Amino acid sequence: DTLWDLAVAEVHRREKPEDEDGDGKLTEVWERSVLFMGNKTGGKTTIILRCLEREEIPKPTLALEYTFGRRARRPNTPKTVAHFWELGSGTSLLELIRIPITSNNIRSFGVVLVLDLSKPNELWPTMEKLLQVTRNHANKILTKLEKTNPEATTEMKRRMQNNLQRDHPDYDLIDPFPLPLVIIGSKYDIFHEFDSEIRKIISKSLRFVSHYSGASLVFTSKSDALLLKARALINHLAFGSDKSKSLLVDHNKPLFIPAGLDSLSQIGPPPASDCDMGKVCANTPWELWKKVFEATFPPKSSNDLQDTKDPAQDSQYTEYEVDAMRTQKNQELEQYKRNASKSWKEMDLDSD
């Protein structure tokens, strides 16, 4: 659909909040929004297309892209419209997060974090940066919302805490993400070829991050069977479908752990020797796991932003008229800067 089609559909929806089903009966329409983010070339677009059952060839995501899906959870039940947002370029365009996550939709918003298992050295910094910025933005919105609608924020916090039963031994030890969160480890087919000990370290670390954040965790690849498992968690997030109760925690197999079904005792301590653990200085469990993980997989020093290709210089987006005007405006801007600099130098700034 074009932007015009989406705009027309939105106007019709607002004018008529109830929609007719195939029998001409009126059924209520529910809306949810999901933001996909993660490593560059981690497979976010492919996962979205499979969730929406679209046979399209994935294309690189330039910045922030939007699509939507419409589905009824069961026959004769309210229809749900899911708005899918995808943030491209890894951690380079984090300021765009504020566009899809707003005070108007935060109560029906979810996040899917896609991490490339084939690049363990990029895994923790990418994950931490994306979660940190998104958490901070969501918390700012919730702080403002609490002043105008305290009942709504209380309900959101209660809903996140409900992922863990009150009698769960970790109930007071975790720090739930402010929004429903699914963490997907992609490219499991490559990851499966890693050494067993390497897979164990990565799997245990991601289990800790997911459990500590109150998130669901699933490993996937291009395999239809694994994509179906990831799709089940996303459909629960996007369309309100029934929550899966399956569980797979063996690091020799693709993990599948819905939120609230893991525990710190089952995960165990960070995978480091007793000697190494004694040398680690950390103030929080998160910091401890981070240091142990990065001792095995040192993060790359290169900045994501430096690696990002400037779209204006990308040949696939070439448009002669636009590029010519851009060149002209850049020249005018440089001339303006030179003239402004001369003006400041010529000004008499001595006070009387």
Q: Per-residue pLDDT for 228 more than 70?
A: yes
> In degrees, to the nearest 5, what angle opens at C-alpha 206 toward C-alphas 64 and 232?
65
Residues of the chain above pLDDT 90, percent:
53
Residue 156 lies in a domain: yes
Query: Residue 37: inside a domain, yes or no?
Result: yes
Residue 140's DSSP bridge partners are none
Write b or e for each residue in 283-315: b if 16 or more Cβ atoms lie within 10 A of its Cβ, otherwise e: eeeeebbbbbbeebbebeeeebeeebeeeeeee
Q: How many CA atoms lie within 13 A of 49 on its CB side?
A: 14
Distance CA 229, CA 188 (A): 13
Q: Does 305 reside within a domain?
A: no
Confidence of residue 235 (pLDDT cuts 50, 70, 90): very high
Length of the chain counted residue by residue: 352
Is 40 within 8 Å of 88 (Cβ atoms)?
yes
- By C-alpha distance, which of 5, 3, 23, 7 is closest to 15? 7
Identify whether 279 is part of a domain. yes
φ/ψ region of 208 (left if φ > 0, alpha if ψ in -120 to 50, else beta) reads alpha
Domain limits for position 177: 27-296
What does the alpha-carbon distance between residue 138 and residue 180 come to, in Å, rounded to a whole number?
Answer: 11
Residue 114: inside a domain: yes
Give a yes or no: residue 16 inside a domain.
no
Residue 241: the pLDDT is 85
| Domain total in the chain | 1
pTM of the predicted model as reported, rounded to 2 decimal places: 0.78
pLDDT in tens, 244-302: 889 999 999 999 999 999 999 999 999 876 556 667 777 899 999 999 999 999 997 54
Q: What CATH number does the domain containing 219 carry? A: 3.40.50.300
d(CA 225, CA 34): 23
Q: Does residue 176 lie within any of the structural domains? A: yes
**Predicted local confidence at residue 164, as pLDDT:** 78
**pLDDT tens digits, residue range 25-84?**
444 558 899 999 999 989 999 999 999 988 888 888 878 999 999 887 667 777 789 999
The token pair that represents 204 in the structure block: 């245990």
Question: What is the number of other CB atoms lying within 10 angstroms of the CB of residue 70?
Answer: 14
Residue 317 inside a domain? The answer is no
pLDDT tens per residue, range 156-203 = 888 877 777 778 899 888 899 999 999 999 999 999 999 999 999 999
Burial class (CB in 10 A: 0-12, 13-18, 19+), 202: buried
